[in-house]
Structures are given as structure tokens and as C-alpha cells.
């Protein structure tokens, strides 16, 4: 079987809590895995040490000789044009030359860097809910709100690997200040912590277990709590406005939503589909579908590999965009 000899991509998924790695084949299968906690409060060299440990463990796998490239999906902001990352939750890395540091640990294999939202998008386009769609917005709604775009059948990372970062589009011009410096961003309204904060401010009371998370607000909404429902409705409204803006700007067919907040299911998706009718009004935007993401926690790894394969032209005939 050719798959026994096919080229592999070593994928890295770098976040504020963990650094995951895997060898990925041309069908999106993960053949070997490694993982370390992110020493997010340590200096840059220590964080890189954890990345190096993941690479070293993958390097010990029997299939390593088939690796042709490295794909990295990292918490952002990233700058793919310079090969640097400045993850908000990893203060030891500011303009950190991640691509160069990884490249010198993998014998000069080509290294492709994208933001984590773009990686998730590559995964959903290749293997998930955006499969076969030529134009899509994929979003991660969790502690933050990120995203990425597929345009004309191909992943569209943009010059620095951040295109589609819908979390920091303003949908409330004079709204609350966002940590990014703007006001009324989608993330400031729709992220998990903001859903929970808004519910608490409006008088929602956590249950006896004291859980104050967005998941607890979702459970209360499901049980009929009006304040909890209103907080999700407001988040849905912000997401709908952002999706409608994207559909109007670049004519997407589908918006795919993953991340922990999407786990609320119909508590989020029902008001979102309804609110979308208020904002996606023009004929060419009104048909945009909203679907839950299909890939789980491996989306970052699968997508980092897919993004590298597309950019480097590996896996001819199988890579994302040729399905």
C-alpha cells in the first residue's frame, strides 16, 4: 500500500496550556503523538524547551524518516511572514522566532506557521464540516474567539497567517473596551468568559457546585433560566453580525463553529440561526449556513499539517483544496 510509504507532516499545536505534536499522514491520521504542558509563565527559552521535547519525542518514532515538513498552528498573534509568534498567554514569547528555532531542530525541513484559528479552519475544510465547500468561515468560540477563511477552495491564511480573525471585528461601535484595544469586538461579547460575566452581572446565580463557567450558564439556559438564555442570545447576536459581515464581504456559503462554547449546542445555535436572519439580508449572503465543527481536540494538529501540505504542495491530489 502506498500509504505505508507516503510523506508525513510533523504537526505542532501550540497553546497556552499545552504543546501537542503528531505525525500526520495524507488522510489526516495521527501516527504518533507527543505532548507537554506549556510552561506559559516561564521565559522564552524554557517554553521552547517544551517544544523541543515534543519534537524529540516525535523524532524517536519509527515513521520520522518519512517526515517532509513541519506545520505549526500557534496561539496568536503570529506573523508567518517573519516566522515569529507573540501568544497573548505566553508572555515569554514576544516576536519569538519560532520557525527558525523549530527548523534548526528538524534538520532544515520546511516549516509552515499559521495561527490556531487558521489551523482549525484547514482541518474542518479537509476533514470536517466545511469539507467540499469552496468558501467558508470557520470559528473557534472558547476563552477567545478566533477563526479562518477558505476562499475559492483554498485555505486563505493571509500574509501573516491571521486572516479570518473574526473575534476582533467590532460589532458594537461604542461597546465595551476589548483587550485588543478596540471596542465592541465579537470576542468581547461572545467568548465563554464574557457569556459567564454577563450572566452573573445580570443576576444569574451559579448552582450549588459554584461553577461559574459558560458551560454552567449553558446548562442553566437549557433548564429554562431566562438570564442565562439572554446571555447566550447576546453572544449569538454578536456572532451573527460577524458572520453576516463576512458573508457580505467575501460570499461564504457556510460558517462552522467549534470550541468549548459551541458545546452549548442549540442553546447557542438556535438563537444564532435566528439572529443571522436579522443581519445577513442581501440575497447573496442570506443563504449562509451555520454548522457545528466536526473535529474535536485534534483539529489543531490535523489543520497544522493540512496548512503545511497545501503551502508546500505535498500530498498532490489529497491535500485540502483538491478534495
**Rounded to the nearest whole angstrom, what is the least distance from the CB of residue 177 to Zn ion in the complex?**
9
* Closer residue to Zn ion (CB): 178 or 196: 178
Task: Tell me which residue has cell 460558517.
Answer: 255
Q: Which cell is 203 given?
A: 443576576
Q: Quick one: 168 or 198, whose CB is closer to Zn ion?
A: 168
User: Considering only 5-13, 62-70, 73-81, 179-187, which stretch makes contact with Zn ion by CB under 5 A?
Assistant: 179-187
Q: Is the dihedral of CA 179, 181, 184, 186 positive or negative?
A: negative
Nearer Cβ to Zn ion, position 171 or 280?
Answer: 171
Residue 98 CA to residue 78 CA, distance in Å, equals: 10
Identify the residue among 103, 180, 200, 215 touching Zn ion (CB under 5 A).
180
In the complex with Zn ion, which residue's Cβ is closer, 168 or 275?
168
Q: Which of 187, 191, 125, 116 is nearest to 153 (CA)?
A: 125
Answer yes or no: are the C-beta atoms of 75 and 27 closer than 8 Å: no
Stretch that binds Zn ion, among 68-76, 176-184, 263-271, 280-288 (CB under 5 A): 176-184
Residue 178 binding Zn ion, by CB under 5 A: yes
Establish if 165 lies at the interface with Zn ion (CB under 5 A).
no
Confirm if 293 and 262 have CB atoms less than 8 A apart. yes
Choose one: 45-53, 148-156, 181-189, 268-276; the region binding Zn ion (CB under 5 A). Answer: 181-189
Nearest of 238, 243, 240, 213 to residue 228 by alpha carbon = 213
At closest approach, how far in Å is the CB of 131 from Zn ion? 30
Q: Which of 174, 220, 177 is nearest to 195 (CA)?
A: 220
How many Cα neighbours within 13 Å face the side chain of 126? Answer: 32
Q: Rounded to the nearest whole angstrom, what is the least distance from the CB of residue 237 to Zn ion in the complex?
A: 17
- Neighbour-count burial for 128-154, b at 16+ CB within 10 Å, e otherwise: bbbeebbbbbbbbbbbbbbbbbbbeeb
* Cβ atoms of 135 and 150 closer than 8 Å: yes
Burial of 200 from C-beta contacts in 10 A (0-12 / 13-18 / 19+):
middle
Q: How far is the CB of 117 from Zn ion (least distance, A)?
A: 14
Interface with Zn ion, residue 182, by CB under 5 A: yes
Q: Does 185 contact Zn ion by CB under 5 A?
A: yes
CB closer to Zn ion out of 178 and 190: 178
Decide: is 172 part of the binding site for Zn ion (CB under 5 A): no
C-beta closer to Zn ion: residue 162 or 310: 162
Residue 168 engages Zn ion in binding (rule: CB under 5 A)? yes
In the complex, the smallest distance separating the C-beta of residue 116 from Zn ion, rounded to whole angstroms, is 16
Supply the minimum distance, in Å, between the C-beta of residue 95 and Zn ion.
20
From 29-37, 73-81, 170-178, 277-285, span contacting Zn ion (CB under 5 A):
170-178
User: Which CB sits closer to Zn ion, 134 or 180?
Assistant: 180
- Nearest to Zn ion of 28, 164 (CB atom): 164
Beta strands in the chain (DSSP E): 8-14, 18-24, 30-37, 67-74, 78-79, 84-85, 111-115, 136-141, 145-151, 154-155, 254-258, 289-292
Q: Which residues of the chain form contacts with Zn ion (CB under 5 A)? A: 168, 178, 180, 182, 185
Amino acid at each position: 500500500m502506498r500509504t505505508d510509504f507516503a510523506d508525513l507532516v510533523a504537526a505542532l499545536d501550540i497553546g497556552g496550556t499545552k504543546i501537542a505534536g503528531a505525525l500526520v499522514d495524507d488522510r489526516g491520521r495521527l501516527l504518533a503523538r507527543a505532548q507537554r504542558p506549556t510552561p506559559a509563565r516561564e521565559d522564552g527559552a524554557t517554553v521552547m524547551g517544551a517544544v523541543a521535547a515534543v519534537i524529540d519525542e516525535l523524532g524517536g518514532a519509527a515513521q520520522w524518516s518519512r517526515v517532509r515538513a513541519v506545520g505549526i498552528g500557534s496561539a496568536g498573534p503570529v506573523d508567518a511572514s517573519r516566522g515569529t509568534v507573540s501568544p497573548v498567554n505566553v508572555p515569554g514569547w514576544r516576536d519569538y522566532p519560532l520557525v527558525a528555532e523549530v527548523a534548526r531542530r528538524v534538520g532544515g525541513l520546511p516549516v509552515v506557521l499559521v495561527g490556531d484559528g487558521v489551523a482549525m479552519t484547514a482541518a474542518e475544510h479537509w476533514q470536517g464540516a466545511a469539507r467540499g465547500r469552496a468558501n467558508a468561515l470557520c470559528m473557534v468560540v472558547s476563552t477567545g474567539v478566533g477563526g479562518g477563511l477558505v476562499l475559492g477552495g483554498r485555505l486563505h491564511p493571509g500574509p501573516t497567517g491571521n486572516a479570518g480573525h473574526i473575534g476582533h471585528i467590532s460589532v458594537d461601535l461604542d461597546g465595551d473596551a476589548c483587550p485588543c484595544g478596540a471596542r465592541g469586538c465579537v470576542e468581547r461579547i461572545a467568548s465563554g468568559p464574557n457569556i459567564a460575566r454577563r450572566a452573573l452581572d445580570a443576576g444569574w446565580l451559579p448552582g450549588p457546585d459554584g461553577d461559574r463557567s459558560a458551560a454552567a450558564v449553558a446548562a442553566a439556559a437549557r433548564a429554562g433560566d431566562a438570564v442565562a438564555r439572554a446571555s447566550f442570545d447576546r453572544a449569538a447576536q454578536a456572532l451573527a453580525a460577524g458572520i453576516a459581515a463576512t458573508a457580505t464581504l467575501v460570499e461564504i456559503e457556510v460558517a462552522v463553529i467549534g470550541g468549548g462554547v459551541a458545546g452549548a449546542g442549540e442553546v447557542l445555535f438556535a438563537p444564532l440561526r435566528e439572529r443571522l436572519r436579522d443581519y445577513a439580508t442581501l440575497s447573496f449572503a442570506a443563504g449562509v449556513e451555520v454548522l457545528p465543527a466536526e473535529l474535536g481536540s485534534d483539529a489543531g494538529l490535523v489543520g497544522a499539517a493540512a496548512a503545511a501540505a497545501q503551502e508546500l504542495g505535498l500530498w498532490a491530489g489529497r491535500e485540502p483544496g483538491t478534495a
